[in-house]
Amino acid sequence: MVFTEEGLEARLSLPSDADVECMASMDGDLLILGAGGKMGPSLARLARRAADLAGARSKRVVAVARFSDPDLATQLLADGIETVQANLLDLGALDRLPDCPNVIFMAARKFGTTGAEHLTWAMNTYLPGRVSERFRESRIVAFSTGNVYPLRPVAQGGATESTTPAPVGEYGQSALGRERLFEYASATWGTRVSLLRLNYAVELRYGVLSDIGRAVYERRPVDLRMGLVNVIWQGDANSICLRSFEHCSSPPNVLNVTGPETLPVRSVAARFGVLFGVQVAFEGIEAEVALLNDATKAQGLFGYPSVTADQLIEWTAKWIRAGGRTLNKPTHFQAQDGKF
């Protein structure tokens, strides 16, 4: 890891041999819907780099987003990624997109749901219904969330793909609606789908570990209400996304995506305290339930993540100590009421 923005972006989009093989065997171009968020740019770059290494330079990687930051579109174009500026909720926006046999759906809304629930439902449920009809002949890998699961008694461990969904709050409910609309497309038109229930992807500028580490570094108390968490390096989550195309099926293939470790928040904060040489303060007490995700199925398909939780904590501490930039988007992972 090179601890600069450029080094971080390069590491996030570094293809593995499996990624290169995936892009070599992928039939046709790749369309990424909602590519302007936290994960989209690095995912697009990963796909482009893997395709180039596979000798598939003619394979198009097309990133679709509102691109409220025009610099991002410019940067992606410089990396060989085609960009389309669009608000996917606009009438006719989907019709103007190119037909593509491989589609990643990552357009979603979480934060700001409270007080604007209608927009969250539009993005998370209505839009997937329209996308699934527009691209019903394509293979679709759609990001979902572990928030479709109920909070689990900590003694029982993480939810598996067979756990009955029971989301807490309207964000989680709308995310389950997203899954149901893709399931409808699969049942109606035979659309081949993979649904990725992700929590939580992290990198050095954003995520649960960044939230905890910055609280420790800034001598703020660490909230213990959500006493246990799962995390996965964003680069590994992106890799799993690409390689999930080969597992698209009808009915949809559901995969939990996270790391193998279950991390006690108290222990993570204490480790940051040692790395920073500071005393850690806490507030609240650990609840008897937590949002936990068991990714054994995905690990059987794709192997363990390339970056461990211990590495991520050390990288995050070094980034924070060096004054590395933050995206300033707290995860609110502590919330037990499903309100974001």
Mean pLDDT of 258-276: 98
Q: Round the average pLDDT of the chain to a whole number and report it.
A: 96
Note the maximum CA span of the chain.
Answer: 58
Instruction: Please give the pLDDT value at position 6.
Output: 94
Residue 121's Cα: distance from chain center in Å?
19
Is the pLDDT assigned to residue 338 strictly greater than 90?
no
Is the pLDDT assigned to residue 274 strictly greater than 90?
yes
Q: How far apart are CA 156 and CA 141, in angstroms?
A: 29
Instruction: Please give the pLDDT value at position 1.
Output: 75
Residue 276: other Cβ atoms inside 10 A: 17
Asked whether residue 267 is assigned to any structural domain, the reply reads no
Backbone angles phi, psi at 193, to 5 degrees: -135, 145
Q: 66 falls in which pLDDT band (50, 70, 90)?
A: very high
SS3 of residue 127 by DSSP: helix
Instruction: Please give the pLDDT value at position 283.
Output: 97
Asked whether residue 66 is assigned to any structural domain, the reply reads yes
Instruction: Please give the pLDDT value at position 110.
Output: 86
Total count of domains within the chain: 1
Instruction: Please give the pLDDT value at position 340.
Output: 83
Domain with 51 in it: 5-198+233-258+293-305
Mean pLDDT of 39-58: 97
Asked whether residue 73 is assigned to any structural domain, the reply reads yes
Q: How far apart are CA 312 and CA 208, in angstroms?
A: 11
Residue 157's Cα: distance from chain center in Å?
21
Instruction: Please give the pLDDT value at position 155.
Output: 92
Q: Which of 152, 156, 146 is nearest to 176 (CA)?
A: 146
Q: 113 falls in which pLDDT band (50, 70, 90)?
A: confident
Q: What angle do CA 291, 292, 295 make, to 5 degrees?
A: 145
Residue range 205-246, pLDDT digits in tens: 999 999 999 999 999 999 999 999 999 999 999 999 999 999
Question: H or E element: which one contains 222?
Answer: strand 222-223
Residue 93 half-sphere exposure toward CB, CA atoms < 13 A: 16
Query: In terms of pTM, does the model score above 0.85?
Result: yes
Residue range 13-26, pLDDT digits in tens: 999 999 999 999 99
Q: What angle do CA 114, 119, 120 make, to 5 degrees?
A: 65
Residue range 277-324, pLDDT digits in tens: 999 999 999 999 999 999 999 999 999 999 999 999 999 999 999 999
Is the pLDDT assigned to residue 339 strictly greater than 90?
no
Mean pLDDT of 130-144: 98
Instruction: Please give the pLDDT value at position 43.
Output: 98
> Which CATH number does the domain housing residue 141 bear?
3.40.50.720
Residue range 70-86, pLDDT digits in tens: 999 999 999 999 999 99
Helical H segments across 169-264, by residue range: 169-189, 208-217, 234-243
